[in-house]
Amino acid sequence: MAARPFSEGDTILLLDRAGNRRVVRLRPGERFHSHKGFLEHDRLIGAEEGISLRTQTGAVFTAIRPRLADYALEMPRSTAIVYPKDVGIILVWADMYPGATVLESGLGSGALTLALLRAVGPTGQVVVYESRRDFIAPALENIRNWGEPPANLLIRECDIYDGIQDGDFDRIVLDLAEPWRVVPHALSALRMGGIAACYNPSIIQVQQTVAALEAAGGFGMIETLEVLYRPWHVKGMAVRPAHQMVGHTGFLTFARRLAVRSGPTERLDAADRTAELEGELPARPLP
């Protein structure tokens, strides 16, 4: 696809020489202001992506289209977001795919919703349950600033703890304080073979969630992990890890919807699973 110049309404990312970044939506006649001066939007509208321009003080800014990760980190938000490092694992470990029907709870600032919409594509659907009315309008504004609101996004103002009124989801993503309370609802709303993904900042929340998944009798392949992000400094012969890294943000728990069993799900930890696959442990028969 040929590169296209910036146009009115585009969301762009401006970077200065120090690596500072600002997300800007282009509008005729407006200016981008910073402590290093200003840039007229009219100078950017019609320009090619990657152009570098000077402010009236001589500071240089480079203009590019942001990645979704850039936009999620820089967009306005009144709630904590699921960080890009965790979003990437959610998309891959939960195996999001074009055409999937996904339930998300809750909406927050819209960062994870944007990633889910991109993953399922126009043939899929993302249904979001959000109990906080005051979160919906700001999140929709963030979604609009990234692009036109997709027709396959359905937002329900309701409390998922009270139940799930829709059904037959391919994937369910829970980003809320007490996901264990949703497990019984998810059991009936998730199709056979579907995947549930839970995001929690506290290991105590994870412990209660895993216990609920095991007790439900219809979930298996339960796995919990966390993602650590450590960039590297590479400049000439100076090659070392960065002094700062993004460590703990949250724990991710995944489970697969399986046939309902008569008793609690037996959990197979990662070491046992590897040994079983390599033939060191006998395969376990179904109860």
Sign of CA dihedral 95, 101, 104, 109: positive
d(CA 263, CA 28): 64
The mean pLDDT value for 224-232 works out to: 95
User: Domain ranges in the chain?
Assistant: 11-66, 70-277
Supply the mean pLDDT for the chain: 89
Q: pLDDT over 90 for what percent of the chain?
A: 79
The mean pLDDT value for 234-254 works out to: 93
Residue 240 in this model has a pLDDT that exceeds 60: yes
Residue 251 in this model has a pLDDT that exceeds 80: yes
Structure tokens given for 104: 């998300």
Q: Any idea which of 27-31, 45-49, 75-79, 219-223 has the lowest mean pLDDT? A: 75-79
Q: CA separation (Å) from 55 to 187, 224, 266?
A: 56, 48, 63
**How much is the pLDDT for 29?**
96
The mean pLDDT value for 113-121 works out to: 96
d(CA 222, CA 3): 43
pTM of the model: 0.84
Is domain 70-277 classified as CATH 3.40.50.150? yes
Q: Are 232 and 241 in contact (CB under 8 A)?
A: yes
d(CA 210, CA 198): 10
CATH class as words, domain 11-66: alpha beta
d(CA 23, CA 277): 47
Could you read off the pLDDT of 182-212 as tens digits, one per residue?
Answer: 999 999 999 999 999 999 999 999 999 999 9
